[in-house]
Amino acid sequence: MAMTRICKRLFPTGTTSAMYSSDAYRCSPERNSGGAGAGDVKDKMLPSAFDDNKLFKYCKHPRTASIIGAPMTYGQPFIGTDSGPKLLRERGLGSMLSQLGWRVEDTPDIVFESGNHSNSVDPHNAKNCALVGHGCNLLATVVETKIQEGRFPLVLGGDHSVGIGSLAGVLRARPDTGVIWVDAHADLNTPETSGSGNMHGMPLGLLMDHPDGGYDFSTLPGFDFLVDGPRIKPEQLVYVGLRDVDPMERVWIRKLGIKTFTMTDVDFLGIGQVMKQALEHLKGRPLHLSYDIDSVDPVLAPATGTKVRGGLTYREAHFVAEFVAQSGDLASAEIVEVNPNLSCDDGANETVELGIQLITSFMGKSII
Ligand SMILES: [Mn+2]
């Protein structure tokens, strides 16, 4: 039975998730959150350390979260990541943020150009690059504008290629931003090094200059907007949760000296020490959190496109979010790669639920 339903959700090429009901992904009422804190996240007021004015200090008063839906699918081969923003909203994201003390502004989803969602090899080895680039250009402008307005951009992916747009917008507004990239993968490929040509593996590879120079965006259709920058420097980035790194990515991480906490480091140091050292490395910078749901162990987050075993536990995943929020320096964030099509009902439900719980944790929810 379960398999039949899974197969029905693997949308054929060219269809959109809007054609399918998302009712099956709604939270069952008896489900307990267990998120950042004990208790149900639908409590009238969520426990929050928000009132002491130390949190989210880069946002103007009243603290306003701008929800930016970025239903991008072109950076990887599966339809379904485009339903992430819709499902997170339906699960009550807006009211949860309000209960934490945020003023909430929900902006319309970025409208991406449509095109062939094709697996054919692009001559640039960057599949759908014109579509990804066009969408990321739009997203970058929205994110930059929201930061200039003093708001907290909360980007809901979409696949991780949206990181190109959100990070470009963040860096244009605040060039010294520190980035915490929570992911099973390094996402440091370029079209030249990528084995798959899928652009969700390239956001950092495109925005960071490599040992052999910067990427020439003038040769990549859709990416003219990045010809003159911005770029992220290696010292502005920290990885958490890596466990599947391509050979050239490994070489570049070492050569560039990028601060990296793999799952082995999480095992050895513990997540508390990992996050303490990660934030010390980025001290004094406004922070952008890029949270790929595939950083979490696939037992807990099965509905995602590139699962790798041995990921963050439930509490480790929440601790990352809580610790970044409690630093007071978090200024923007995104959550990506939630794809309900890629798991059965329960798996899809649990992944969406985890996504929303992690958002509440990095948006300030605390246990006490
Ligand atoms: Mn990723």
Summarised one tens digit per residue, pLDDT across range 281-296 is 999 999 999 999 999 9
The alpha carbon of 185 and the centre of ligand 1 are apart by a number of angstroms equal to 6
- Residue 78, CA distances (Å) to 25, 111, 129, 337, 356 in order: 18, 18, 16, 10, 22
Q: Which residues are catalytic?
A: 160, 183, 185, 187, 200, 292, 294, 337
The alpha carbon of 183 and the centre of ligand 1 are apart by a number of angstroms equal to 5
Summarised one tens digit per residue, pLDDT across range 116-167 is 655 555 678 999 999 999 999 999 999 999 999 999 999 999 999 999 999 9
The alpha carbon of 73 and the centre of ligand 1 are apart by a number of angstroms equal to 13
List all residues 6 or more positions away from 103 whose beta carbon is below 8 Å from its beta carbon: 62, 63, 64, 65
User: With contact defined as beta carbons under 8 Å apart, do 342 and 306 qualify?
Assistant: no
The residue extents of the domains of the chain are: 59-362
Average pLDDT, the chain: 87
Which is more confidently placed, 12 or 241? 241
pLDDT of amino acid 298: 97
- Cα gap 233→216, rounded to integer Å: 16
pLDDT of amino acid 269: 98
Helix segments in the chain, DSSP class H:
2-9, 84-90, 93-100, 129-148, 162-173, 203-207, 247-256, 263-269, 271-281, 314-326, 345-362
Tell me: pLDDT of 189 over 90.
yes
- Cα gap 338→360, rounded to integer Å: 16
**Nearest of 13, 195, 216, 225 to residue 135 by alpha carbon:** 225
- Options 3.90.1150.10, 1.10.3720.10, 3.40.800.10, 3.40.190.10; CATH for 59-362 is 3.40.800.10
User: With contact defined as beta carbons under 8 Å apart, do 92 and 356 qualify?
Assistant: yes
Name the DSSP class of 288: E
- Residue 333, CA distances (Å) to 17, 152, 162, 330 in order: 24, 8, 12, 8
pLDDT (mean) for 9-18: 33
Question: Which neighbouring-strand residues pair with 238?
Answer: 180, 259
Those residues whose beta carbon sits under 5 angstroms from the ion ligand 1 are 160, 183, 187, 292
Question: Which neighbouring-strand residues pair with 208?
Answer: 232
Summarised one tens digit per residue, pLDDT across range 88-119 is 999 999 999 999 999 999 999 999 887 765 55
Which is more confidently placed, 363 or 32? 363
pLDDT (mean) for 337-363: 94
Question: Considering the entire predicted model, what is its pTM?
Answer: 0.87
Summarised one tens digit per residue, pLDDT across range 196-243 is 999 999 999 999 998 888 899 999 999 999 999 999 999 999 999 999
The alpha carbon of 4 and the centre of ligand 1 are apart by a number of angstroms equal to 29
The alpha carbon of 287 and the centre of ligand 1 are apart by a number of angstroms equal to 18
